[in-house]
A and B are shown apart, each in its own frame.
Chain A
Amino acid sequence: MKYHLYLVMIVGLIACNTPKKKPVIEEVRLEQSVELDVPNQLSTWDLFEQPLNKLIPKKDILPYELNTPLFTDYALKSRFIKIPDGNPAEYVQEEVMDFPKGTILIKNFYYESDLTLENSSRKLIETRLLIHENDGWNALTYVWNEEQTDAYLEISGATIPVSWVNEQGVAMNVNYSVPNLVQCKSCHELSGKMTPIGPTARQLNKKYDYASGNQNQIDKWKATGMLTSVPPLEEVPKLPAWNDPSTGTTAQRARAWLDINCAHCHRLEGPAKNSGLYLRYSETDEYRLGVNKPPVAAGRGSGGMKYAIVPGHPEQSILIHRMESLDPGVMMPELGRKLVHKEGVELVKRWISEM
């Protein structure tokens, strides 16, 4: 009899919850066609030697790295900068350098087919350009063709399936998302204007293996006349490398991770200022950092939890919940990832546990 009742209940519940079928979507074109007055091919920009996919920069284009880069679905990145001759950038202590008009920041996104192998093959996905023009910074993105001979302008964004084997020998898959041109600004925005994020003093303050030898990037930029008003190196701030314990404590490295992954929005001048949660490396107010801070407009992003960070309790912290989520309505950052950055989450969890 009991079973019978359960059965009635289950049938009843099923009756209320008939699942919907996923519709099949046919793409239709709108009548108005659109064009942008910019080069349609990456090669037109004349940034790299042929063959293009070797990414050998032309003269006066310099590669650079960041101490703690943004996570983008485990994509590898190679960055270059072109600063117009004889027109150096001004050094800035806390924000991105003050780059002259004509500066181009170039970021190539790629995957290695098998990271356990020495001679793995490289697949270039997209090349993003940030160009400093008279009306401010503009972003363009170029998607590489199958043959890897050139990349083509993408206005509306694209989804590209990628597979690779990671350092642990685990096969990985992702539907890599190339942003549309407005999505670029969703992150690259400061006080309503497009801006670079990476090339700050604290991010650039590290050594790089140039063809001419190993040298600190700030020194190199100064020596080549790309950067002026540079203070002595010991006065230049330095961000720890999130994954290198020799560069900082757990707290410092976790804060570095939050700085690059979150603080472009979560700062007073950023698009997430309405949240009141500020995650810059320089933030010192614990409440603003999220400690015992209730959410403002998180909606279901709160996951039923009450505070962004509960010291000692990563499992009760909304911050971690949103970093671990893959639900578009919950996950943070909102854009640029389809996977969880497990190692980054572990680091931030450890920081909260040790609070």
Chain B
Amino acid sequence: MKQQLTLLIITILLWSCSNPSVPEVGSEWKSIEKDLQAQFITAMDSSTIVIPAGHYMFTRPLLLDGKKHLTIKGLGVDKTILSFEMQEEGAEGLKVANAVNITLQDFTIENSKGDNIKVTDTRGLTMKNIKSLWTGEPKETNGAYAFYPVLCKNVLIENCIAIGSSDAGIYVGQSDSVVIRNNESYYNVAGIESENSKWVEIYGNYSHDNTGGILVFDLPGLTQFGHTTRVFDNQVISNNFRNFAPEGNVVATVPPGTGIMLLATRSIEIFGNTIKDNRTLGTAIASYEIVEAMATSEESQLNENIKKSKRDIEYDPFPNDIYIHNNSFSNEHQFPTIENDFGLLFMMKFPFNTPEIVWDGIVSGTDDFNLCIEQEGVHFANLDAANEFEDLSEDMTPYQCVGNFVDPIF
């Protein structure tokens, strides 16, 4: 008994110390916040603000509003470092609002109390060669988003690195015409997430060691709905990190071990991705109803919530028009993660054989449902979640078809 206890304690100790820690590169911090903020305020349109090399500490957010054709650049990742470790006010590090054609590039930004970079109501945004992170152990108190364009149009995010977000590393919300390419994302809850956005291209990214690799979600009650998204040629590898999102947020329901997850969205093409070693599922197709069910524990509450979610009468909680083809699926793990309902379910239903493509099987009953999968030798599961998994099926043949190709946005 005593030996077992000792073993347990040693295991706990090893576990707690073996949690990854993201190193702090900055040291000997200086403050330039008054001058830099003044430059942001007085900058002429079409100018460039260069932030010199150095490690800079901020107590307030850096705000940019209403500028046009402005470039803000550092002298390189880990050369120009902006830290919000000592932030006393504001819920983001760098915030851009109501602007036109803004380019942010070549710096490291870290440890904001909220989001590291938030860009809202902006037409034309490029973010490139930026590392955005929370140092130390990935934890619930980290900010939500490393990169957060919301309500924007014409967005390009490339060659960026996102680490340690307690929600999503690269998150695009309620936006239009978005390219997310050649980025790296790890130790976030969601590596990359597109939410209520339309005409989105997510390609060439390396999303690994998050809770979920790439998410495409559509939620009710917002300013616009999402659709028309291509997810291709990404490396979605070993997204088995524990889910450290604060409860109440929709990503808190994402099972650790998720490669790609589609939620209540439509007109989606997923192809050419390498989806590897995600323990619980390679690609999931889910309705908003199952998320609601997972977010609430009591049945009666659940029904009430589903009713509430339908207060948004325009909202369609069911995914549709999904085409998955020519991806490479593999999983060296025999068991799913078990700190979530899906993992437990798969453990029971599919021991030693976790499915790669999973659909909750919930349909609207009125619309035609269109799911096409062209993948050889992939383990598929239709959970029939609406009926307590009664008609759970691993037969993919009803869904083997050529789906709708999504046109490139450019």
B72 proximal to A (CB < 8 A): no
Say yes or no: A182-B63 contact (C-beta < 8 A), given A287-B311, A294-B295.
yes
B interface residues, tally (CB under 8 Å): 77
Residue in A155, A292, A328 with the greatest tally of chain B CB atoms within 10 Å: A328
Q: Which of A175, A183, A338 contacts B63 (CB 8 A)?
A: A183
Q: Which of A296-355 contact B (CB under 8 A)?
A: 296-307, 318, 327-329, 331, 334-335, 338
Cβ distance B295 to chain A, nearest Cβ, rounded Å: 6
A interface residues, tally (CB under 8 Å): 66
Asked whether, in the complex, the Cβ of B91 is within 8 Å of the Cβ of A334, the reply is yes
Asked whether, in the complex, the Cβ of A335 is within 8 Å of the Cβ of B2, the reply is no
CA distance A326 to B350 in the complex (A): 47
Q: Which of A30, A295, A296, A335 contacts B36 (CB 8 A)?
A: A30
B387 proximal to A (CB < 8 A): no
B321 proximal to A (CB < 8 A): no
CA distance A312 to B163 in the complex (A): 39
Say yes or no: A30-B32 contact (C-beta < 8 A), given A274-B223, A303-B248.
yes
Stretch at the interface among B6-14, B267-275, B326-334, B371-379: B6-14
CA distance A159 to B304 in the complex (A): 47
Asked whether, in the complex, the Cβ of B17 is within 8 Å of the Cβ of A16, the reply is yes
Asked whether, in the complex, the Cβ of B308 is within 8 Å of the Cβ of A287, the reply is yes
Stretch at the interface among B108-116, B279-287, B337-345: B108-116
In the complex, per-residue mask of B80-105: 1 if CB is within 8 Å of any chain A CB, else 0: 00000011111100000110000000
CA distance A175 to B151 in the complex (A): 33
CA distance A189 to B151 in the complex (A): 15
A8 proximal to B (CB < 8 A): yes
Asked whether, in the complex, the Cβ of B42 is within 8 Å of the Cβ of A36, the reply is yes
Cβ distance A196 to chain B, nearest Cβ, rounded Å: 17
CA distance A320 to B310 in the complex (A): 25
Say yes or no: A274-B17 contact (C-beta < 8 A), given A32-B39, A299-B144.
no
A171 proximal to B (CB < 8 A): no
A181 proximal to B (CB < 8 A): yes
Stretch at the interface among B166-174, B177-185, B201-209, B232-240: B166-174
Chain A, Cβ-Cβ closest to B6: A5
Asked whether, in the complex, the Cβ of A29 is within 8 Å of the Cβ of B35, the reply is yes
Cβ distance A293 to chain B, nearest Cβ, rounded Å: 7
B351 proximal to A (CB < 8 A): no
Residues of B within 8 A of A276 (CB): 221-223
Asked whether, in the complex, the Cβ of B120 is within 8 Å of the Cβ of A271, the reply is yes
Q: Which of B178-203 contact A (CB under 8 A)?
A: none
Chain B, Cβ-Cβ closest to A331: B91
CA distance A304 to B295 in the complex (A): 11
Say yes or no: A305-B97 contact (C-beta < 8 A), given A30-B32, A157-B60, A180-B41.
no
Residues of B within 8 A of A23 (CB): 28-29, 57, 86
B393 proximal to A (CB < 8 A): no
Q: Which of B39, B115, B145, B222 contacts A30 (CB 8 A)?
A: B39
Q: Which of B9, B33, B54, B148 contacts A156 (CB 8 A)?
A: B33
A211 proximal to B (CB < 8 A): no
Say yes or no: A296-B219 contact (C-beta < 8 A), given A15-B17, A156-B34.
yes
Residues of B within 8 A of A26 (CB): 30-31
CA distance A335 to B61 in the complex (A): 10
Cβ distance A189 to chain B, nearest Cβ, rounded Å: 8
A101 proximal to B (CB < 8 A): no
Q: Which of B129-158 contact A (CB under 8 A)?
A: 140-145, 148, 150-151
B384 proximal to A (CB < 8 A): no
Residues of B within 8 A of A22 (CB): 86
Residues of B within 8 A of A177 (CB): 88-89
Cβ distance B202 to chain A, nearest Cβ, rounded Å: 19
Q: Which of B234-272 contact A (CB under 8 A)?
A: 246-250
B64 proximal to A (CB < 8 A): yes
Q: Which of A13, A186, A318 contacts B248 (CB 8 A)?
A: A318
Asked whether, in the complex, the Cβ of A300 is within 8 Å of the Cβ of B246, the reply is yes
Asked whether, in the complex, the Cβ of A292 is within 8 Å of the Cβ of B37, the reply is no
CA distance A98 to B347 in the complex (A): 64
B22 proximal to A (CB < 8 A): no
Residues of B within 8 A of A182 (CB): 37, 40-41, 63-65
B71 proximal to A (CB < 8 A): no
Asked whether, in the complex, the Cβ of B246 is within 8 Å of the Cβ of A274, the reply is no
23 A–B contacts, CB within 8 A, in A order:
A9-B9, A12-B16, A25-B30, A27-B30, A28-B32, A29-B32, A34-B41, A155-B37, A157-B34, A157-B60, A271-B97, A274-B173, A292-B305, A295-B249, A296-B222, A297-B148, A297-B167, A299-B246, A300-B143, A302-B246, A328-B88, A328-B113, A329-B113
Please list the residues of chain A having a beta carbon within 8 angstroms of any beta carbon in chain B: 1, 5, 8-9, 12-13, 15-16, 22-23, 25-30, 32-36, 155-157, 159, 175, 177, 180-183, 185-186, 189, 192, 271, 273-274, 276, 285, 287-288, 292-307, 318, 327-329, 331, 334-335, 338
Given contacts A156-B41, A299-B143, list 8 more A-B pairs with CB under 8 A: A28-B32, A30-B35, A30-B39, A36-B41, A157-B60, A296-B173, A300-B144, A304-B248
Ordered nearest first, which 6 A-B pairs have the shortest CB separation? A299-B144, A302-B248, A329-B113, A182-B63, A30-B35, A328-B113
Please list the residues of chain B having a beta carbon within 8 angstroms of any beta carbon in chain A: 2, 5-6, 9, 12-13, 16-17, 19, 28-42, 52, 54, 57, 59-60, 63-66, 86-91, 97-98, 112-115, 120-121, 140-145, 148, 150-151, 166-167, 171, 173-174, 219, 221-223, 246-250, 295-296, 304-305, 308, 311-312
